[in-house]
Structure 1
């Protein structure tokens, strides 16, 4: 139901054009007036949102589950038009309907909203806005206030308004039984000021739509609460900033940049040696100014000398649905459906193995068995991951799910070591631009081993590929394409770790056997 943005209407009042509004349009205005104006007058300026379809699918799935928990409820369809939906909702209320109403539709002063769940109460009606998040976020309150304002102003008393969000402690006990998945956070008392502002906000939003394009400077609102799809359009005439802004400094870079901006300094090249107290920040500054990569090879050798051979390089791909699909799973639990593993002998020989399940079934058992078979102590020593907390968590969850495999999986978890903190401590190239993600580091050591040429380029795309492949309507040809894309992407991650560790320690050739030629 997050996915339903509500309709909008355009009416004529006294010969002048009057712009209808919806919950989502008011939310856009509250983030940035220019965003609202562009969404109406220049929608073609928006960048394509690659994650929109996945978010819509999640919202739709969660909304269907929320409705399914009330089998006696009635759905107000948007067809044949939203005016009919408003009339249908009013008829149900006026006739004393005593069960939940889904997508109840209301209009006041040209503002139209569709309420996810409207519940009859003794002293009025309760509004429940369903969200596929684990808690209440600040921007949820604005959405809820708009709904409460429209519902109340249209003549329906509101006695409760809540955010119905996912309870992250829920665990699926029986297939398809989602009783207990949601938790209601009552918010009506928090909405008084927001509701009181709705008249003024609606008037201002409508004035913005009727006027010329607003001139709004870029700022934090461009990314909060959502990354704005018009950011590139708005920045097209901005003067170019420094190539190496101080904000690139890791973790606290924005705050540091703000302090130096007060002295008129914006570029890392403008900072003198020694002015940055943090050793990592000074390292980043120096590498940026000189253009010479920082590499503490001896430090890398010392940090990794205890990593036993043969070394395995492990990377998981996972899905984390808001509503758990399989018995024993929690909301948002990362379920591994794929792993890639390169096993490297001390002499340089490399073999690749892995696992992939995209048939839509529960992949956990097969994944756990493959891990035990391929990563047992008799086959490898240290198991190297990048940001290893994630891999350890995946393995622990599998051990919990399958007690008969738990001992072997816990032993595997105990051998997982982390290449990320080693890299962060001993290496930096200015082209990383303040990031030590594997995708930021890899192009600085092996440009031809990047991800831009892959069909699946990141973890988000891998999740989308799994969901597409798992659909019954997906053709075998397309499923084979997705399978190949996933295998290439995940293998690239573990291949990258081999190349990186060789670059850090100087052990063997960067273009060692099985890895392929590197510059």
Structure 2
């Protein structure tokens, strides 16, 4: 219900989702509300944090605080009438059944300028990644104009790539004028609005299988047999190819006609799905594994990437290493118990992050063997974090410690590459991520039941510790995992590598 009766209003999110997928738009507007998670709560916090910093640029701005869109629109109209030269925060406008709330509305000589503030690094609005932000502001412009507001300019505010910790906050944002780029979208929204309004306010539409279903969190809700549509399990296939198959009525890999046009790895996956049998190339696997040298150190990092920098010489969203886990197998024949007990870990102190990052590098150098392979899972990540540590430590006057890290780079090996080279199981369902392969290859090991069970959650948990937000989070009804929970998660990542390595060796 709302202030003007039972009329339902269509939000920006519902409208834009509906343009991608009618069922997704309908669920956004009418479906059951998703429970709040720690990850979502932290994302809301960072969005509000960035929005608050942008508002500080307008000291006398007036906030339209009411969350009821009808009440907020009435208040917006009243404030504009009484204070025509005032900047407004979160003003509301309604056009038919569509509602929009601009982040900031600034009066100009010829109307108003809309400012939309994004908790993202600056984007190229003409490529695929940047287009979503252009679509976002185009909706707001369309509703405002249609509600009788003259929009003379429109700007997207992104976090500046040049901004660094300690810089003046006035330099935090990169501003991109985008009204001209948005005009074609605004026209298209008006033309399509009747159709979208019709099905969003009607009964739940039937799901339509599309390429975008591959990454949608609701795919198994819409299609209980989603995993029977095995074309989605072919790794690194483009959306255009997927959609082409779907348009031809092809949803299973055995329906793809020869020649398939797939590369060797994709064809390997296809054949494994068709036969229902694992693929094993013991020669390729042996070539990878025999290149590794003992002692083998199994290494995993965890990081945080705060939108607002919290460490000297870092930029927005720079990944800061805050934790590592390390298991060591000294010799090829080491017992599982000896490897398990040869474990080292480090978790930064959230109250002294600067000293802790230095301490982490020192602890890692001291714990790692001076020779042998350093095993990772998806090497690019760990390699990137070691390089980051080297650069950051050098900037902090720790050149000697930075130099000790450099030799580690040439010792890195990648367990993921070994699996891709020699093994595939149809139950991987197209994913080589450690959480995709572990339950298939080592069923007794699981992340289920851990208070922290994925990297994004670990990042949010530690970030809240650094920012002192744990009490605030608990007041919202959420549990706050502990330091021990973070350690258990990171330790399982490296122990999983130990077990996966042993499993691969058993295939030879």
Do the aligned residues in 2 keep the contact of 1:242 with 1:267 (CA within 8 Å)? no
Q: CA deviation at 1:387?
A: 1.1
The normalised TM-score by structure 1 is 0.81
Name the CA distance, whole Å, in 2 between partners of 1:480 and 1:112: 35
Do the aligned residues in 2 keep the contact of 1:18 with 1:206 (CA within 8 Å)? no
Partner residue of 1:399 out of 381, 390, 406: 390
Do the aligned residues in 1 keep the contact of 2:211 with 2:239 (CA within 8 Å)? no
Question: What secondary structure sits across from 2:102 in the alignment?
Answer: strand
Q: CA deviation at 1:185?
A: 1.8
Q: How does 1:427-442 map to 2 (within 5 A)?
A: 427-442=423-438
Question: What secondary structure sits across from 1:133 in the alignment?
Answer: strand
Aligned position for 2:103: 116
Aligned position for 2:13: 24
Name the CA distance, whole Å, in 1 between partners of 2:502 and 2:258: 31
CA deviation string 1:444-485 (max 9, x = no partner): 32110122232222112212222344453536x999952222
Do the aligned residues in 2 keep the contact of 1:74 with 1:99 (CA within 8 Å)? yes
Name the CA distance, whole Å, in 2 between partners of 1:431 and 1:262: 26
Aligned position for 1:166: 159
Q: CA deviation at 1:103?
A: 1.8
Q: 1:259 to 1:217 in 2, by over 3 A?
A: closer
Aligned position for 1:217: 208
Indicate the larger mover: 291-300 or 381-390.
291-300
Q: 1:228 to 1:507 in 2, by over 3 A?
A: closer
CA deviation string 1:100-129 (max 9, x = no partner): 432233344454322112223333321111
Name the CA distance, whole Å, in 2 between partners of 1:101 and 1:191: 22
Aligned position for 1:315: 300
Aligned position for 1:450: 446
Aligned position for 2:486: 486
Q: CA deviation at 1:172?
A: 2.0
Name the CA distance, whole Å, in 1 between partners of 2:99 and 2:253: 49
Partner residue of 1:207 out of 188, 198, 214: 198
Indicate the larger mover: 189-198 or 93-102.
93-102
The aligned length equals 485
Instruction: Return 5+ residue gaps in structure 1 as ranges.
Output: 1-7, 509-519
Q: How does 1:329-368 map to 2 (within 5 A)?
A: 329-346=314-331, 347-348=333-334, 349-350=338-339, 351-357=342-348, 359=350, 361-362=352-353, 363-368=356-361
Do the aligned residues in 2 keep the contact of 1:358 with 1:466 (CA within 8 Å)? no
Q: How does 1:23-422 map to 2 (within 5 A)?
A: 23-43=12-32, 51-68=39-56, 70=57, 72-79=59-66, 82=69, 85-95=72-82, 98=85, 100-109=87-96, 111-134=98-121, 135=123, 136=125, 137-174=130-167, 177-220=168-211, 222=213, 227=216, 229=218, 231-235=219-223, 240=225, 243=228, 245-252=230-237, 266-269=251-254, 278-346=263-331, 347-348=333-334, 349-350=338-339, 351-357=342-348, 359=350, 361-362=352-353, 363-375=356-368, 377=370, 380-403=371-394, 404=398, 405-422=401-418
Do the aligned residues in 2 keep the contact of 1:311 with 1:344 (CA within 8 Å)? yes
Aligned position for 1:5: none
Q: CA RMSD in A?
A: 3.5
Indicate the larger mover: 250-259 or 28-37.
250-259
Q: CA deviation at 1:266?
A: 4.2
Indicate the larger mover: 289-298 or 264-273.
264-273
Aligned position for 2:504: 504
Q: CA deviation at 1:394?
A: 0.9
Question: What secondary structure sits across from 1:313 in the alignment?
Answer: strand
Do the aligned residues in 1 keep the contact of 2:451 with 2:481 (CA within 8 Å)? no
Name the CA distance, whole Å, in 2 between partners of 1:488 and 1:146: 44
Q: CA deviation at 1:95?
A: 4.9
Indicate the larger mover: 486-495 or 306-315.
306-315
Write 1 or 2 for the structure with the bigger share of helix: 2
Do the aligned residues in 2 keep the contact of 1:10 with 1:20 (CA within 8 Å)? no
Indicate the larger mover: 298-307 or 391-400.
298-307
The normalised TM-score by structure 2 is 0.83
Do the aligned residues in 1 keep the contact of 2:3 with 2:70 (CA within 8 Å)? no
